[in-house]
Amino acid sequence: MISRLRGVVLDIQGAEVTLDVNGVGYEMYCSRACLQDCEYGSEREFIVFTDVREDSIRLYGFVDTLEKRVFLLLKGVKGLAAKSAADLISQIDKRDLLRAIGSGDLRMLQALKGIGKKTAERIVVELKDKVGGLAGEVRPLHAQVEVGHSSPQQDALAALESLGFSRIEAERALDSVVANSADKVIDAGELVKEALRYV
């Protein structure tokens, strides 16, 4: 499977980019964020997902690994194909999308093109519990090394920062969660999910 490509941009047609990698042209369907800095003749590196089907092989390009992981989460939702998941990623910032899913914001999800009430509900039901786990997977390396000596709140803070939220935003959100937790012990993943309601 192809997971990363570096080469020269040969062509851009809408969301389709053709990348020359050592004389071989790879066509990718790219996210909006991925297309922002694309210019003809520029050298670029893409994070890639290879979608293999019975009748085709298609490449999807992303700006970073977090964007790809969010795409893979969406792709796993019943009724959402790879193309639909890629279109969603292009309509909304990945952090805002994670926030909407984690906080169960159906209104924000339904505002996206191609997402009706039932699909929005399905996305929340199937992915809400996975959002905290995704945040934990993308913690900075230093946070992973120190995890044995840190509290769930510190782990959650590092996870939220790795998702792109500022330290101030993350700290305020976590303070709100802790203040409303009635002294219950909450693990880092649960803290992240709850904090997404406040950022």
More confident residue, 136 or 41: 41
Average pLDDT, rounded, for the chain: 84
Same structural domain for residues 91 and 45? no
How large is the average pLDDT for residues 11-15?
94
Residue 145 pLDDT: 40
Alpha carbon of 172 to those of 17, 105, 118, 176: distances in Å?
40, 19, 32, 6
CATH of the domain at 123: 1.10.150.20
Number of domains in the chain: 3
Same structural domain for residues 114 and 141? no
The pTM of this model reads 0.73
**Cβ-contact 17, 27 below 8 angstroms:** yes
Give yes or no for residue 135 having a pLDDT over 50. Answer: yes
Same structural domain for residues 80 and 108? yes
Q: Which of 19, 34, 62 is the last residue of a domain?
A: 62
Q: Which of 19, 45, 62 is the last residue of a domain?
A: 62
Same structural domain for residues 49 and 89? no
**Cβ-contact 156, 188 below 8 angstroms:** yes
Same structural domain for residues 29 and 79? no
CATH of the domain at 37: 2.40.50.140
Residue 5 pLDDT: 96
Residue range(s) defining the domain that contains residue 18: 4-62
**Cβ-contact 15, 35 below 8 angstroms:** yes
Same structural domain for residues 70 and 115? yes
Same structural domain for residues 40 and 92? no
Q: Which of 73, 95, 128 is the last residue of a domain?
A: 128
149-158: per-residue pLDDT in tens? Answer: 567 888 888 8
Burial class for 165, CB neighbours closer than 10 Å (0-12, 13-18, 19+): buried
Same structural domain for residues 70 and 124? yes
How large is the average pLDDT for residues 52-71?
90
Give yes or no for residue 34 having a pLDDT over 80. Answer: yes
Task: Give the whole-angstrom CA distance, residue 84 versus residue 179.
Answer: 38
Same structural domain for residues 143 and 155? yes
70-121: per-residue pLDDT in tens? Answer: 999 999 998 888 999 999 999 998 888 888 888 888 999 999 998 999 999 9
CA dihedral 76, 77, 78, 80 (to 10 degrees): -90
